[in-house]
Amino acid sequence: MSFSITILGSSSAKPTVDRHPSAQIVNVHEQHYLVDAGEGVQQQLIRAGINPLKIREVFISHLHGDHVFGLFPLLSTLGLYGRKTTLRIHAPAPFGELLDVHLRYFDRELPYPVEWSETDTTKHALLMENRTLEVWSIPLRHRVPCAGFLFREKRPPLNVEKYQIERYGLSIAQITAAKRGEDVRLDTGEVIPNAELTYRPYEPRSYAYLSDTNFSARAANLCRGVDLMYHEATYAAAERRAAKERGHSTTLDAAKAALKADAGRLVIGHYSSRYKDEQVLVDEARTIFPETYAAEERTTFTIEKQR
């Protein structure tokens, strides 16, 4: 089952000739979630070959324009596409006021409901869950209330080894018991340990999105062991004073967060427009965390299954 992240925007503050403001699609088992929605997000979805109707829910980290300006025209376009299912948007207050104004003046008669769920940016809390996925908020340190998001796959149910079914002639009832994690008693009275019969199809995978923030040890600890971490790196290390004053991170801050979290891989983005070549920033981060990659737009990072 798929678990991937597609970068739609990698610029900070404003769009440039070849970069768009922050936006990503997280695809978990073909369930698509939009994370931040900077200007131009719907064009980027089309360019990436992603049908906007596939978006199940939206997660907005904070209410700076470069993370939310693209959402409102997308709401209108989804209506033109004929969406019928509810769209839930997770965002800090006072997003509800912005949404109400937009709906009142531009989308009075959308063919689908839009629901806002307030994110408490001070808490590490469960925002959404379904049969296969949990999404948690991660408090961040920015100039306005801001939260990152941890997408964590739930543990898949146990499978029973086919050769063990044949070996012991297991019945449907015995197979069902084994899948529940129980030991199995054969007709002979012999008890077969569950671990001998079953396996996990894969280990749960995870992705952390750490948007605009100063370095936060708490945030890094909350996503410890994450397979893939996105962390903003607006500035090179030489601009650490500007980063601290403006509630942002440097390349080395991002790398230290990934190191502290024991992340598998790090993707950095939200580049200041002063940097024309993001590879310079990637190389700097790699001095601390070698598995660092650029958030190149329309690039997809896949998290592979591990058994």
- With helix as H, strand as E and coil as C, how does 105-141 read? HCCCCCCCCEEEEECCCCCCCEEEECCCEEEEEEECC
Q: Which CATH number fits domain 3-156+200-302: 3.40.50.620, 3.40.50.1100, 3.40.1400.10, 3.60.15.10?
A: 3.60.15.10
Which residue from 166, 231, 158, 172 is spatially nearest to 200, judged by alpha carbons?
A: 158
d(CA 178, CA 164): 11
**Domain assignments of the chain as residue spans, ordered by start:** 3-156+200-302, 159-198
**Could you confirm whether 66 is annotated as catalytic?**
yes
300: Cβ–Cβ under 8 A, 6 or more apart, which residues?
Answer: 4, 5, 6, 7
Check 66, 212, 227, 253 and give the catalytic one.
Answer: 66
Task: For the chain, 307 residues long, give each residue's pLDDT as a single digit of tens.
Answer: 799 999 999 999 999 999 999 999 999 999 999 999 999 999 999 999 999 999 999 999 999 999 999 999 999 999 999 999 999 999 999 999 999 999 999 999 999 999 999 999 999 999 999 999 999 999 999 999 999 999 999 998 889 899 988 898 899 989 998 899 999 998 888 999 999 899 888 889 999 999 999 999 999 999 999 999 999 999 999 999 999 999 999 999 999 999 999 999 999 999 999 999 999 999 999 999 999 999 999 999 999 976 5
